[in-house]
Structure 1
Amino acid sequence: MTQKSIFDFRDYKSYLAWRTGPRERRMGEKAAMARALHVQPTYVTQVVHGAAHLSLEQAECLSAHFGFSEEESHYLMLLVLRGRAGTNSLRNYFDRQIDGVLQNRLVLTNRLGAPNRLSEEDRSVYYSSWCYAAVHMALTIPALRTRVAIAQNLQLTVKKVSEILEFLERAGIAKRNGDIYEPEATEVRLGNSSHNILKHHSNWRTQAALSLDREDISDLHYSGVYSLSRADALRIKDKILEELKGTLQCVRDSKEEVLYAYTIDFFRVAPKASR
């Protein structure tokens, strides 16, 4: 079955119909849903394919049964409320609420959180060059916690690395113990509204372009241009953000051995000319 989420649907009955799957597994899923709701499987069939509607209490039960997050549960409630609405104006009201949830999910810091321990002045320095973030993340690797080791690994001068380490220590995101430096914070993130965001993106896309010359088999580069519907474009962005959350969790759980950069671009080509 193709992987989807509740956010791929604007009608809860369509979601439940997808959830029950093809005919060969339909009864098992419907039976499980019926047990969770304390109803007969025929009632689930009437909800999915007929005129019956879930109550909010039943939607809450299914959210628990599906293992939904708070955000997913809230979205299911909105879909149920829209489905139960008796007037066009009320359906339009819940449509706006649903649109708000979907739009909110497209904001990166809303999906990933916004850990940030830097002052505005320090952020301007930190994002002025790729070197600051690279040295900062290098400190998470035990073998790269001295000025010389970092300089050799990143091909920077020891003087430059020393200046960066002094800044990181002063900013409170690194600490020094003799000749050894360790990270105090490992996540610093910018929102789309920050004036540093363009510099941050351009810094690492420049490094991505330079990495093409190395032709390292462990690197990955892909570029493509597509035509697709506006709805599918938003759906793809949502899936990319969800995958990014999983990637960041994998990074958090991973042993620190090597440095990698991860850049993502998914954007509309010539937006003014393509309305």
Structure 2
Amino acid sequence: MNIFDFHDYKHCINEWIASQPRNGHGQLRQMALHLNVNSVVMSQIFRGDRDLTAEQGLAISSFIGFTDLERDYFMLLIQKSRAGNRDLEAYFDKQLEQIRTAATALKNRVKHQKFTDEDKATFYSQWYFSAVRLGVSIPHLDSATAVAQYLNLDRALVSKVMDFLKSHELIVEKKGRLDIGPQVTHVGHDSPFVNRHHSNWRLKGLQAMESASEKNLFYSGPMALSQDAANEIRKILVETVEKATKKAAPSDSEVLRCLNIDWFEVGSKK
């Protein structure tokens, strides 16, 4: 859902509700709880003639997870709906058009230069940058809301991450849906960002251990062995990574998973 396509805040919210799981069943009640009002009030607003107050509009912006620009647009839609005459409506229409223009400029802004170290520092600062990028390749994850729900992240955060990824062609829009873009990222073993990259995903691995899902696999096996055997196992692991990568690359995007492998010496020889 693109809020900037809407000219009525009620249509916007009703569309958002309909896009939620189970066609949004229970969402109005959740909004009412968030606003600390009776659920009847929400029905009177979004299914009747009653309008949101500015305070309620700001709270709903937080509930949905609008970005700053989306929030500003939404609040103007509310003010326009509450306007007492056509002159005031026209005043707000002009401001709404300015925000729509700004949003379009942001959407179309693409950096055509090389992915810089500063960009990499941002991209590898958190696990969710690469997770969001890969996530949009899964067909049903076609919006910030869907990705946020899948990754259990705040929608406003996902929207900001998507803005960054779009501006660097790491994700693009194809035929009305999001997909991985042509720009590539690579962090080599000698990169100053490699340790951060590994740490981010190992922390996610530690969190995943708590779910005890049979779909996951975790193994820790300290062992004493010969140097030749250690070298051979490292070779086997490298080959396994290569096979896994070749297997994953041409397959359809259906789920998002992470492979972490550690093979290291404990202690050191004197």
Structure 1, unpaired ranges of 5+? 1-116
Structure 2 CA distance for aligned equivalents of residues 177 and 140 of structure 1: 11
Q: 1:270 maps to which residue?
A: 267
The runs of 4+ residues in structure 1 deviating greater than 6 Å are none
What is the CA distance between 1:185 and its match in structure 2?
4.0
Q: 1:229 maps to which residue?
A: 226
TM-score by length of 2: 0.55
Query: In the TM superposition, what are the counterparts of 1:83-232 in structure 2 within 5 Å?
Result: 118-176=115-173, 180-185=177-182, 188-232=185-229
The counterpart of 1:254, out of the listed 251, 258, 261, is: 251
- Equivalent pair of 1:175/1:184 in contact (CA under 8 Å): yes
What is the CA distance between 1:177 and its match in structure 2?
5.7
Structure 2 CA distance for aligned equivalents of residues 172 and 163 of structure 1: 14
What is the CA distance between 1:169 and its match in structure 2?
0.8
Residues 245-266 of structure 1 deviation map (CA, whole Å, 9 limit, x = unaligned): 1100100121110110110100
What is the CA distance between 1:190 and its match in structure 2?
1.1
Structure 1 CA distance for aligned equivalents of residues 208 and 184 of structure 2: 24
Q: 1:213–1:184: structure 2 CA closer, same or farther, 3 Å change rule?
A: same
Structure 1 CA distance for aligned equivalents of residues 140 and 197 of structure 2: 26
Whichever residue aligns with residue 263 of structure 1, its letter is N
Structure 1 CA distance for aligned equivalents of residues 183 and 265 of structure 2: 32
Q: 2:5 maps to which residue?
A: none
Please, what is the CA RMSD of the aligned residues? 1.8
- Equivalent pair of 2:148/2:158 in contact (CA under 8 Å): yes
Whichever residue aligns with residue 172 of structure 1, its letter is E
Structure 2 CA distance for aligned equivalents of residues 182 and 174 of structure 1: 6
Query: Would you say how many aligned residue pairs link Structure 1 and Structure 2?
Result: 157
Structure 2 CA distance for aligned equivalents of residues 248 and 120 of structure 1: 25
What is the CA distance between 1:181 and its match in structure 2?
1.9
Whichever residue aligns with residue 258 of structure 2, its letter is A
Q: 1:186–1:219: structure 2 CA closer, same or farther, 3 Å change rule?
A: farther
Structure 2, unpaired ranges of 5+? 1-113
Whichever residue aligns with residue 150 of structure 2, its letter is N
